[in-house]
């Protein structure tokens, strides 16, 4: 990669699969289109052995220092930014500790369990004047930028009044009783784990704005509870100003469709496909006018796609910004308001909130 690009030095917290995918993407040779250089300089886990195992398994080009505690990593002067890839109930404290140590933070989604905890992190980062972003990586895919341009700028299928979004994976019945997705103490349930993507697509499809400029919305929801958590959560998000609704769901029973979102416009419909709602791969546009040919867009993609958000973060920090324009902190808070409302309506309260 070019030496003229900004370089960001990463410390990784959490030695699980998400962190492994993230660092793997940062090692992909992207010399033709990378917007930043990334160095993995430290990995922190519950023991030095676990950190070393993570490094051996996931890294080939970088040789980071292994730490047996998070606090040691936060003291490392070579770390510019901390990526937090632990399970979501364990995001808040290390994020706070990293912020208080003066480190920038990219925290996996959901950033915390609820609005209040997310606001605590944002307030801490604002006070310390460090960069903070929730790692909603999907928003940074080039295909998502194309989708937004087609829908909101070009209005290729006209005004949109309905959107259908679904994300259904796994099989709740086959998960062991002690699995984290069934454990209320570990933030279990479909909403926080995958429902955040369904809500994200509702926001992407119907509202061209983010954060403070977002359109006003209303939420009604229903959930199917099992093992004390939501195995299914569904919601209708209504935007009165544009007379539009998003009907969305997240479920841990089955994966019946590769259709992520279907937007119905006055001139036709636009559909996004992918194996999962987090990883869009194809856009198809069909028109009501039979004389107009369908349009299919299926761009190439390297790796999982985590490098797109990493590049955006590196550019933000190089430019002295404390938050990102695509995923600003007020957008994180808005999504939490929606998720808190859905949980309130289904009666799901985590022990940490009592």
Nearest to 237 by CA among 266, 273, 195: 195
3-state class of 31 per DSSP?
A: coil
Joined tokens for residue 237: 């998000």
Alpha-carbon distance of 228 to 184, in angstroms, equals 6
Is the pLDDT score of 30 beyond 70?
yes
Only one residue has tokens 């808070």, namely: 333
Burial 256-265 (b: 16+ CB within 10 A, else e): eeeebbbbbb
Structural domains in the chain?
Answer: 7-135 (3.40.50.720), 142-300+335-353 (3.30.360.10)
Query: What is the DSSP pairing of strand 132-135 with strand 104-108?
Result: parallel
Percent of the chain predicted with pLDDT > 70: 98
Q: Residue 256: what pLDDT? A: 65
Q: What is the mean pLDDT of residues 189-203?
A: 96
Radius of gyration of the chain (CA): 20
3-state class of 238 per DSSP?
A: strand
* pLDDT digit string, tens, across residues 33-84: 999 999 999 999 999 999 999 999 999 999 999 999 999 999 999 999 999 9
Whether the CB-CB separation of 38 and 80 falls below 8 Å is answered with no
* pLDDT digit string, tens, across residues 94-151: 999 999 999 999 999 999 999 999 999 999 999 999 999 999 999 999 999 999 999 9
* Consecutive H or E run containing 38: strand 37-44
* pLDDT digit string, tens, across residues 247-279: 999 999 876 668 999 999 999 999 999 989 999
Alpha-carbon distance of 155 to 149, in angstroms, equals 8
């Amino acid at each position: 990669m070019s030496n003229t690009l900004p370089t960001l030095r990463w410390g990784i917290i959490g030695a699980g699969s998400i962190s492994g995918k993230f660092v793997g993407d940062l090692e992909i040779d992207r010399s033709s289109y990378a917007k930043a250089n990334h160095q993995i300089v430290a990995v922190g886990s519950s023991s030095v052995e676990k950190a070393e195992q993570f490094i051996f398994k996931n890294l080939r080009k970088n040789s980071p220092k292994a730490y047996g505690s998070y606090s040691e990593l936060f003291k490392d002067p070579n770390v510019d930014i901390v990526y937090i890839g632990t399970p979501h109930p364990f995001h808040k404290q290390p994020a706070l500790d990293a912020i208080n140590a003066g480190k920038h933070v990219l925290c996996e989604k959901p950033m915390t369990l609820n609005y209040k905890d997310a606001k605590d992190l944002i307030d801490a980062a604002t006070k310390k004047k460090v960069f903070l972003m929730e790692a909603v990586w999907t928003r940074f895919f080039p295909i998502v930028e194309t989708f937004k341009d087609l829908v909101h700028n070009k209005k290729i299928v006209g005004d949109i009044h309905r959107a259908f979004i679904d994300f259904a994976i796994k099989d709740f019945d086959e998960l062991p009783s002690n699995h984290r997705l069934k454990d209320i103490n570990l933030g279990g349930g479909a909403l926080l784990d995958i429902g955040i993507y369904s809500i994200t697509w509702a926001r992407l499809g119907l509202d061209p704005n983010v954060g403070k400029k977002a359109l006003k919305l209303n939420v009604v929801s229903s959930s199917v509870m099992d093992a004390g958590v939501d195995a299914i959560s569904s919601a209708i998000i209504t935007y009165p100003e544009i007379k539009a609704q998003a009907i969305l769901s997240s479920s841990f029973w089955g994966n019946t469709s590769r259709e992520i979102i279907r937007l119905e416009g006055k001139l036709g419909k636009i559909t996004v496909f992918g194996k999962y709602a987090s990883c869009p791969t194809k856009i198809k546009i069909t028109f009501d006018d039979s004389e107009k040919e369908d349009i299919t867009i299926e761009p190439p993609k390297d790796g999982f796609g985590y490098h797109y958000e990493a590049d955006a973060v590196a550019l933000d920090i190089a430019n002295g910004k404390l938050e990102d324009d695509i995923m600003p902190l007020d957008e994180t808070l808005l999504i939490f308001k929606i998720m808190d409302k859905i949980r309130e309506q289904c009666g799901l309260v985590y022990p940490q909130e009592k």
